[in-house]
Structure 1
Amino acid sequence: MQTYHVKVERTDPQHARASVRDFTLELGARRADTEAGFNPVETLLSAAGACLLTGLQFVAQTSQIPLEGAWVELEATRQDKPPTLTQIRYRLHLKSPAPPERLERLLELAERNSTVLQTLAQAVRLEGSWEVAP
């Protein structure tokens, strides 16, 4: 069992600061303000993407699948009443000479090893796809 602890504090009317150990993350914290920085939903999507890429790297190394690069684009759909995300979609781009069936299995295992994706999948419809990047 692992426990996580993050402190988030309001720094001014438009911003919040998250801190953990010796690291900080500045966040936008004013509704509909696209100039203040990452809003909470964008931060959630970023966490999901980072967690997926972490799992991907772990599985690629342990499975000895060559992975020259990877990035993921995420998108969420939000409804207003009640305010909730109804869907999260992602597209994973992989740079690898491995055959498609090995990359498909790599993604399957990476998803299973992603704490954030596994958690989100229990709360919202989650759809993912992948492609080999040039």
Structure 2
Amino acid sequence: MKRTVCTILGTIAVMLGAVGIVLPVMPTVPFILAAAALFSAGNPKMHDWLINTKHFGPFIENYQSGRGIPRQLKFKTLVFLWIMLSISMFFTYKNSIVLLILIIVGILVSVHILTIKTQTTAD
């Protein structure tokens, strides 16, 4: 039962993380890291698949090992985040609640990204 629940929740987390790639209000990183943890606990084959993916694998391994993420990736992530949020804000500027939510999400995601250890070239 545990294996099934972890696999289902891990799959949902991967799907939500994938949506977060193109939707700026959805965080990608927490969902992918949650998926890795869930698959690790319930489905080793899915865990191996996830950590061997081209886009997520190196990030998961660096994050789990405590090496952090490269400064350039942090910069690109923040630039992409705020460009996408700005586009969303442009189309929803008349709705102050949505605008406030976008700003709060942007600030919180930015703080999270900036607090992740920065990987040095020696790592």
TM-score by length of 1: 0.29
TM-score by length of 2: 0.31
Structure with the higher fraction of residues in strand conformation: 1
Structure of higher RCO (CA pairs closer than 8 Å, 6+ residues apart)? 2
Which structure is larger by alpha-carbon Rg, 1 or 2?
Answer: 1
Structure with the higher fraction of residues in helix conformation: 2
